[in-house]
Amino acid sequence: MTGTARVPRRTGELPSRLGPGDIVLLDQVDLDRRTADVLVAAGVIAVVNAAPSISGRFPNLGPEVLSAAGVTLIDRAGREAMRAVKDGSKVRLHEGTIYSGDREIASGVEQDADSIADQLIEAKTGMTSQLEAFSANTIEFLRTERMLILDGVGVPAVTVPIEDRHVLVLVPGYGHADDLKRLKRYIKHYRPVLIGVDAGADTLLRAGYRPDVIVGDPNGIEKDTLKRATEVVVPAHLDGHAPGIARIQDLGIGALTFPASGNPEDLALLIADAHNARLVVTVGFQATLHEFLDRGRSGSNPSTFLTRLRLGSRLVDGAAVTALQRNAGSNWAVVLLLVAALLVLGVALAVSGFGTSFLAVLADFGRSAFGQLQEWFA
């Protein structure tokens, strides 16, 4: 196959620099699902990875996503391919080899569904060492950030009223836009505080919601979204340096900084916790062990585990809220069917002259049913 080569120096450049028919050259050990989703959405036809897409440390999900979408994946092509191919040039792939015209640039291993499945099975044995590394990092994180995690010291005071309210935190995770659509009824009923993390804030605005709080690097968030938000919180390094603060200043937007070593999504949860949120609903977060490790940074995010422990029972996954909504909807349907059937029977009895007493019984039933519905949706 032949296509235009794209050689991003950073994974964060992918969304704005890719197009249908492109061939992407990158250098990423353990290709994660979030990156693979971006590549598939852009319509690329092939990915050439200088590094192994599955190293064996843990069963990462990116290669499987590419394979399912029909995207060719060539592994272990070496960094020479990254240096030899110019961004925007035409390249050709044939049997795992990369060509520029008739000149061979580099060779790698072309993966298919079977080879990927075999490597993922072997990679499961590497999860033990990853969890051990994660445990050690968690202890070290607690030493450096114990005041933040245990007492909430350093959490910025946002002006958006959060106390005793529901909070919905949206991060740009797998399927987050679809999950947000399913929560439309929940948002309409409870009107939670909406916190968008990184590009999740853009998703909120595209769905018709104004973000109450944005947490993340402003460089990866659209200008209109930043201007529409009520409050912007920029994560900063412990030395006080805040990436993206220059863009906020150029746009003339006020922002708070949050010096901490945790992930932006964890900082968003800590904001909700410190301001006494009644319930926190998460959308786009990693829900399983495989998804948690599949972040391209496995073993380096102990803040995630400790933050969830701090929120405890107040933290609810958006999928659970959606499931409860479906159950409530089925209860509504049952009651409406019963009421409709009784109304038809009541009309028939009224016509026959026996409906007066029945209508009184129907009224009692209606009051009882309404009370039951209030209990279901309280």
The pLDDT, as a whole number, for residue 209 is 96
**Sheet containing 279-283, strands listed edge to edge, beginning at the edge strand earlier in sequence:** 256-259, 231-236, 213-215, 193-197, 166-170, 279-283, 315-317
Higher pLDDT among residues 374 and 39, named by residue:
39
Residue 188 · residue 168 · CB < 8 Å:
no
Q: With 50 as the cut, is the pLDDT of residue 296 above it?
A: no
Distances (CA, A) of 368 to 112, 154, 339, 357, 364: 60, 51, 12, 17, 6
> CB atoms < 10 A from the CB of 375, how many?
7
> b/e map of 254-292 (b: 16 or more CB within 10 Å)?
ebbbbbbbbbbbbbbbbbbbbbebebbbbbbbbeeebbb
255-274 tens-digit pLDDT = 999 988 778 988 999 999 99
Q: Which CATH architecture has domain 2-124?
A: 3-Layer(bba) Sandwich (3.50)
CA distances from 93 to 4, 10, 70, 84, 107 (A): 11, 23, 15, 15, 9
Across 327-333, average pLDDT: 54
Q: Where are the domains of the chain?
A: 2-124, 126-321, 327-377
Strands 213-215 and 109-111: unpaired
Q: What is the pTM of this model?
A: 0.64
**What sign does the dihedral 281-219-16-222 (CA atoms) show?**
positive
Please tell me the distance from the alpha carbon of residue 181 to that of residue 303, in angstroms, as a whole number. 28
- 53: pLDDT strictly greater than 80: yes
The per-residue pLDDT of the chain, averaged, comes to 82
**Spatial separation of the C-alpha atoms in residues 32 and 296, rounded to whole Å:** 6
Q: What is the pLDDT of residue 140?
A: 77
If you average pLDDT over residues 133-153, what whole number do you get?
Answer: 77
Is domain 126-321 classified as CATH 3.40.50?
A: yes
Q: What is the predicted pLDDT for the residue at 33?
A: 84
- The yes-or-no verdict on residue 300 having pLDDT over 50 is no
Reply yes or no on whether the pLDDT at 138 is more than 70: yes
Written as six digits, the tokens of 235 are 């994560």
3-state secondary structure of 299: coil
Q: What are phi and psi for residue 195, nearest 5 degrees?
A: -115, 120
156 with 236: CB under 8 angstroms? no
Judge if 2-124 and 126-321 fold alike in CATH terms.
Answer: no
Count the neighbouring beta carbons within 10 Å of the beta carbon of residue 213: 27
